[in-house]
Chain A
Amino acid sequence: DIHLTQSPSFLSASVGDRVTITCRASQGIGSALVWYQQKPGMAPKLLIFAASTLHSGVPSRFSGSGSGTEFTLTISSLQPEDFATYYCEQFNTYPATFGQGTKVEIK
Chain B
Amino acid sequence: EAGVAQSPRYKIIEKRQSVAFWCNPISGHATLYWYQQILGQGPKLLIQFQNNGVVDDSQLPKDRFSAERLKGVDSTLKIQPAKLEDSAVYLCASSLGGSSGQVSYNEQFFGPGTRLTVL
Whether A and B are associated in the same complex: the answer reads no
